[in-house]
Amino acid sequence: MTKGYMGVDIGSISTKGIIIDDHHRILASEYIWTKGNPIEAVKELLSRLEKQITGKNIQVVAVGTTGSARKLIGTILGAVIIKNEITAHAVGTMSKYPDIKTIFEIGGQDSKIILLDDGIVVDYAMNTLCAAGTGSFLSSQAKRLDVPVEEFGNIAITSQNPTKIAARCTVFAESDLVHKAQMGYKKEDIIAGLCRSVALNYLNNVGKGKRIQAPVIFQGGVSKNIGVVKAFEDILGFPIIVDEIGHLMGALGVAILAQKTKKEIPFSFRITNYNFETKGIECSKCPNHCEIICVSQGNKLLDAWGNRCERGSMMH
């Protein structure tokens, strides 16, 4: 029997899963949309992962979770480790690129930068407040231009003269894009300008004040856009690494961390048949009035969090 270690990365836009063996070889992987319902997304993810390992004599013995819904999903899956995205992405990336110095990550609604030195995270920054320069921003501009976002990169690299687009803010970028289109700028130049503005927006905001050193790896959904990759390379003056499983690095990292705990709790995919309920309860036992999130299966309370003092503890 082969032991498997599963990592699940639950983001606001997408949910990623990976199963690895003791040597960090990938036994199964999957990427799906969260659609605003992390519990149902994870159930679908697990069904797909199970199909990939059926009949291969693989037993998942440890689960780790990361991402925005890591606590919720970690509770449901009985995770042996629940880690933040910074640590998970760093561990996953270094397992394949031990000499990496900088990680760029641009997802559907947020972005981050991680700086490493000798395999240790020395600095990082996240942008979760503004959508400018993220995948959702590019998708909305693609619709405005009536171009499939999947074709953005291929169109952008045909441009000889990228149009300057003010992209510090989504509202400014959209009005500037409309203005430039009305002035008669070529579509490929506008698209290349958008890609360049995404890279500049990222470097001027998320990467502001950071010492960006090569080698640099670019991850997240936007890394699939070769127009943005080229824009980063043109601005920084050196090649950018894009890995074919870059979108799975967080899941890979937390799977490795689950293995490293040495805690083994055989996992059953039958969990997809269970119903889980989450609800918020406002605690009135002190002036904080904390909103406590409770996760239950049937009448059994699995976990609760959000209380800032012991009086709000739901777990005894």
3-class secondary structure per residue, 33-91: ECCCCHHHHHHHHHHHHHHHHCCCCEEEEEEEEEECCHHHHHHHHCCCEECCHHHHHHH
φ and ψ of 212, to 5 deg? -85, 115
Matching CATH number, 98-242, of 3.30.420.40, 3.40.50.2000, 3.40.390.10, 3.30.1330.40 = 3.30.420.40
Q: Residue 119 has what DSSP assignment?
A: T
Q: In this structure, are residues 74 and 65 in contact, taking their beta carbons and an 8 Å threshold?
A: yes
Beta strands in 118-167 (DSSP E): 120-127
Q: How many CA atoms lie within 13 A of 187 on its CB side?
A: 13
With residue 117 as reference, give the H or E element that holds it.
strand 111-117
Superfamily, domain 2-92+251-273: ATPase, nucleotide binding domain (3.30.420.40)
d(CA 187, CA 266) in angstroms, rounded, equals 54
Q: State residue 169's pLDDT score.
A: 67
Cα dist from 293 to 14, 43, 91, 271, whole Å: 22, 20, 29, 21
Q: Where are the domains of the chain?
A: 2-92+251-273, 98-242, 277-312
Q: Which DSSP string do the residues of 291-315 spell out, in sequence order?
A: EEEEEEETTEEEEEE--SSGGG---
Which value, in Å, is the radius of gyration of the alpha carbons in the chain?
A: 21
Burial degree of 189 (CB within 10 A; 0-12, 13-18, 19+): buried
One fold for 2-92+251-273 and 98-242? yes
Bridge-based pairing of strands 14-20 and 26-33 is antiparallel
pLDDT on residue 136: 76
pTM, entire model: 0.85
What is the distance between the alpha carbons of residues 229 and 215, in angstroms, rounded to a whole number?
A: 14
Q: In whole angstroms, give the CA distance from residue 33 to residue 11.
A: 9
**Per-residue burial over 99-124, b = 16 or more CB atoms within 10 Å of its CB, e = otherwise:** ebbbbbbbbbbbbbbbbbeeeebeeb
pLDDT at 130: 64
Per-residue pLDDT of the chain (316 residues; tens, 9 = 90+): 999 999 999 987 889 999 999 999 999 999 998 888 889 999 999 999 999 999 999 999 999 999 888 998 999 999 999 999 999 999 999 999 999 999 999 887 788 999 999 989 999 998 866 665 677 788 888 888 888 888 888 999 998 888 888 766 667 777 887 888 888 888 899 889 888 888 888 898 899 899 999 999 999 888 989 999 999 999 999 999 999 999 899 999 999 999 999 999 999 999 888 888 888 889 888 888 888 888 888 888 887 877 888 887 866 4
How far is residue 248's CA from residue 93's CA, in Å, rounded to a whole number? Answer: 10
Q: Is residue 11 a contact partner of residue 40, using CB atoms and an 8 Å limit?
A: no
